[in-house]
Amino acid sequence: MKKRSSRRSKRVRKKNIFGASLIFLVLICISVAVSVYLSQKKNSINIDPTTFCPVNGSPFVTAILIDETDQLSPIQQASLKNELQKIRDEIPKYGKIEVYLIGNTKKNLLKPILSLCNPGRGDHANKLYQNARLIEKKWKDAFNNPMDKIISSLSDVSTSDESPIMESIQSISVSSFNNANNKNAKFRLIIASDMLQYTDGFNLYHLNTNTLTSFNSEYLKQMHSDLRDVKVEILLFRRTTSKKLQGHQLINFWEAFFNNQGAFIDRIYAITG
């Protein structure tokens, strides 16, 4: 009887130990799940379902201003598309990209032909609770494909009698860079243009030494914008008919123009063609 009782008590102890271990493992799993949920909730960002931008503003804003006032050669079109694809791939998660076309702002501010945020790539997904394949599909459908569509349409570029580059920059400054929703963002302005401003008020086709010291002119005072800490990149279209105008004097003018408004030129890249 004692041996049977001893064996029975051992089995009971083993069951108790197994039960306690099982409960302990379940508690650990619940604890991990709760921790993951709370961490995800803490780090979650309220996202606009249309633009995929954070409702409280994107931390990075890249505005691309494209000059459609003169026709590009096929080589220039292809080179520009390559550069724009590189820029697209540089946009970080939740970074915003806006694409504008240089145009007249006498009646209305420029409106972007594209304004989207990068929702994130599949290779950045958290393997514990995110589906990398679905995230990558979302990136392609919501961000990559719309951007590719805009890039592909650039071959349909038109011509214009004016090239209001300064007015277009000012419009972007007011509507985007100084928008209250973007107050904490880092800004990048990319201008794809020949940089030859041509309007009734200011004409860089008549560039001379006086132009470089004309920032006290009434016209340039009107063109002043708040571009503090904006990083500027220029994708320069070389014009065969304007080679003499696109030298150091032109670059010096634009460097002074942006410095005068608190911005700085980070890169100038000559588009092939």
CA distance 218 to 235: 28
pLDDT classification of 183: cutoffs 50, 70, 90: confident
To the nearest whole number, what is the mean pLDDT of the chain? 84
What is the SS3 string spanning the chain? CHHHHHHHHHHHHHHHHHHHHHHHHHHHHHHHHHHHHHHHHHHCCCECCCCCCECCCCCEEEEEEECCCCCCCHHHHHHHHHHHHHHHHHCCCCCEEEEEECCCCCCCCCCCCEEEECCCCHHHCCCCCCCHHHHHHHHHHHHHHHHHHHHHHHHHCCCCCCECHHHHHHHHHHHHHCCHHHCCCEEEEEEEECCCCECCCCEHHHCCHHHHCCCCCHHHHHCCCCCCCCEEEEEECCCHHHHHHCCHHHHHHHHHHHHCCCCEEEEEEECCC
Return the pLDDT at 180.
83
Fold of 60-271: Rossmann fold (3.40.50)
10-24, 42-56, 113-127, 217-231, range with the lowest pLDDT: 10-24
Return the pLDDT at 164.
95
pLDDT in tens, 9-62: 555 555 556 566 667 676 676 665 555 444 444 456 899 988 999 999 999 999
Return the pLDDT at 122.
82
Domain ranges of the chain: 1-44, 60-271
- Identify residue 184 by its one-letter amino acid code: N
Over 80: is that where the pLDDT of 214 sits? no
Task: Give this prediction's pTM.
Answer: 0.81
14-18, 73-77, 169-173, 193-197, range with the lowest pLDDT: 14-18
Return the pLDDT at 53.
93
DSSP β-bridge partners for residue 190:
64, 233
39-53, 125-139, 220-234, 254-268, range with the lowest pLDDT: 39-53
